[in-house]
Chain A
Amino acid sequence: MAAPPLAHAGHWVVNLLYLAPVVLIVTMLAVSSHRDKRAEAAEKAAARTPDEPDSQ
């Protein structure tokens, strides 16, 4: 009978360690990109506010 995957967890956990740098950098880029988009949106919103007519 084949051994359950957890019995050899050490093997594939060690293999997964090679993925760590990629996951780390991708996560950082994704978070940074998300924050930049939010900051840009906030800047645009702030820039639009003074243009709105304040007297009717």
Chain B
Amino acid sequence: MTAGDPRLARMNGRLLAAVPLAGSIVLAAPEIALAHGLVGREDLPIPKVVFAYAATAALVASFIALAVLWPRPRLEGRDERRVASLPRILDPLCGAIGVAIFALLVYAGFAGSQTATNNITPTFVFVIFWIGLPIASALFGDVFKAFNPWRAIARAFAAVATSVSRKELPAPMPYPAALGRWPAVAGILAFVWVELIDSARADPSHLAVLMLAYAAVQLVGMSLYGIEPWNRNGDAFAVYFGLFARISPLHWKGGAVTWRAPLSGLTTLDAPPGTVALMCAMIGSTSFDGFSAGETWGTLAPRMTDSLRDLGFAQSGALEVTFTIGLLVVVAVIAGCYRLGVRGMRDATGIEMSTDALAARFAHTLVPIALAYVVAHYFSLLAFQGQAIGYLSSDPLGSGANIFGTATATIDYSWVSATAIWYVQVAALLIGHIAGLVLAHDRALITFKDGPTATRSQYWMLVVMISFTSLGLWLLSSAS
């Protein structure tokens, strides 16, 4: 921000005034909230709603600090520093491990116990894979790409076919530009539907069938459009984990590891059609998971289900339709909120760019928020149910085996308290949204003609960030 712009100075002054104003609400709120017993098992010193006000104050303060202290882009176009070379054997080795784990999970799904807690497949898929891998990706880079079993199979097949035929394989079709990341959007929504709505989700053999079906779709996609183009756009999990990996300072490419500024990998994200929808699906699906555990949905859902049963649906079908509608509505609300913020940015600056183009240009700012939602909503699941992998790895089929001598291990529910979990959730949401603000500010500096316009453009993105933070904290606090 330049000090010479009086409008900006006035606006930032007003935003600064919001910090003590939020503080005064903080002081006024405890009586109201305590009277309604908001402080539950966590034994918190202040009501949960106060955390939303404190987070708002922190976001406003971060916004002002960025406007004053961050006058030039610092993340865009940053160089990477090579830190190590990787042995050539590592890539096929990791791929082989990925294929072996995939085969074990499918086998366990069919041949193992059909009780979900006794079979490794549901815990591995829904906890280690779905929750653990995003966190690992954000810390260590794109680990999934190395272990991706479908990519490994396709690469092995291509290598063998080339060797046998002794000539280059026919070139794949060019990936359709219009298809963009829509296959990944469909894949993520389908997985979330299975995780949250499918009545047979806990059935290991059902999961194994779905895993094989997904693998088949990926192999067809890679054979049609090429391994890397399909992985970049069509493989829902490769795209999903690859997005989180861009947060990491570690970048694995071309047989080497390079070091880059954290978050800077996101600035090189391309945004073909479907990218914004993918972000909204990621945030919206996690939001719906929280929302569906709350009192509001607990009141709404039975009414909707009853109405559907009156229309002739069976009980399980009515439940699935109800929850599907809920999921899609929450994703739409997230998309609408983001679009409003982008629209506000466009109107505030008068930039000659369509709302869609501007939304795509700032889509990468939603990635840290999606990760924050994953950590905030699933940290406790990972912390507790993740321990089950200790005994399940020794007895993956639930058949009484004890391969590594850990089959009698149990889950320690006391290693992290409910209070500590709440603080982790709040910290995750806050850090994720501040990271989103940083990325948006950095991108605004190269999108708009000058610093003051860039700062003005971000007022509505600040509203988006505060909305998502408050939504996240409300969902966490209202989950029963």
Contacts and interface: CB of A to CB of B under 8 A. Distances in A.
Interface of A is mostly: helix
Interface in B316-372: 348
Given A28-B15, A32-B11, A33-B348, A21 B22 contact: yes
Contacts, number: 67
B151 to A, nearest CB: 42
Contact of B32 (A14, A29, A33, A35): A14
Given A14-B49, A18-B49, A26 B25 contact: no
Contacts of A28: 14-15, 18
Interface stretch (B170-178, B184-192, B430-438, B467-475): B467-475
Contacts of A35: 10
Nearest to A32: B11
A21 B52 contact: yes
Interface in B36-88: 36, 38, 49, 52-53, 56, 60
A22 interface: yes
Contacts of A33: 348
Interface of B is mostly: helix
Contacts of B460: 29
Interface residues of A, number: 21
Interface of B: 7, 10-11, 14-15, 18, 21-22, 25, 29, 32-33, 35-36, 38, 49, 52-53, 56, 60, 295-296, 348, 459-460, 462-463, 466-467, 470-471, 473-474, 477-478
Interface of A: 10-11, 13-15, 17-22, 24-26, 28-29, 32-33, 35-36, 39
Given A14-B38, A24-B56, 5 more contacts: A10-B36, A20-B25, A22-B463, A29-B459, A39-B7
